[in-house]
Amino acid sequence: VADPLRVLDCSPITDGAAALVLAPSDIASRYCDTPIRILASAQASDSLALHDRRDITTLDATVYAAKKAFAQARLTPEDIDVAEVHDCFTIGEILAIEDLGFFPKGEGGAATEEGRTAIGGDVAVNTSGGLKACGHPVGATGIKQAYEIVLQLRGEAGKRQVDDAEIGLTHNVGGSGGTALVHILSR
């Protein structure tokens, strides 16, 4: 924790475990009334060394993984109803929503303050509370994000439910942004 970040700006590293069952659609339908489809899955890498990066306020791995995922799914950021993004620090969520294309560079903080990332806003971001609220079990984080999106797309998220959520996105980062994964899921 270092200025300007405070304790509540940082996700706690926690213990945790998660599992996910993947199956072809025809098989999943035999075991589940509301299977969720994976429309895209993309990964990209960048330099691990921060001083070697093109721009310290952009995670190019996120930018490239997002572009690949949106192309694979034949969608745009405007098509996403709900997203779980890697917010290990408060600034991480702001950078992610910009790098994923939800908001122009430099406008993510204002968009968040204006409620555009809240349930009922332009795109609901981190309806689970994100890593800062749920903890960051590192290796299990990505599966926890997928679980939240599955709940949202099934209409089973309770008080955090995004009305009529049909398309969801997960964004996970490793190695201080040296690698990023973006998955797009649908009902």
pLDDT given for residue 121 in this prediction: 97
Do the domain assignments include residue 71?
Answer: yes
Do the domain assignments include residue 128?
Answer: yes
Q: Are 102 and 96 in contact (CB under 8 A)?
A: no
Do the domain assignments include residue 105?
Answer: yes
- Report the range out of 65-79, 121-135, 170-184 with the highest average pLDDT: 65-79
Do the domain assignments include residue 69?
Answer: yes
- In this structure, the number of other CB atoms found within 10 A of the CB of residue 92 comes to 23
Do the domain assignments include residue 82?
Answer: yes
pLDDT given for residue 8 in this prediction: 85
pLDDT given for residue 166 in this prediction: 98
Stretch (H or E) spanning 63: helix 60-73
The pTM for the full model equals 0.92
pLDDT given for residue 131 in this prediction: 86
Do the domain assignments include residue 1?
Answer: no
Range of the domain at 19: 7-186
pLDDT given for residue 89 in this prediction: 83
Q: Are 161 and 174 in contact (CB under 8 A)?
A: no
Question: When comparing pLDDT for 20 and 78, which is higher?
Answer: 78
pLDDT digits (tens, 9 = 90+) for 27-53: 998 998 999 999 999 999 988 888 888
Structure tokens at 184: 């797009």
Domain CATH for 121 = 3.40.47.10
d(CA 165, CA 80): 9
pLDDT digits (tens, 9 = 90+) for 77-114: 999 999 999 988 888 899 999 999 999 999 999 999 99
Give the rounded percent of residues in the chain with a pLDDT score beyond 70.
100
pLDDT digits (tens, 9 = 90+) for 143-160: 999 999 999 999 999 999
Specify the number of domains making up the chain: 1
Do the domain assignments include residue 158?
Answer: yes
Do the domain assignments include residue 2?
Answer: no
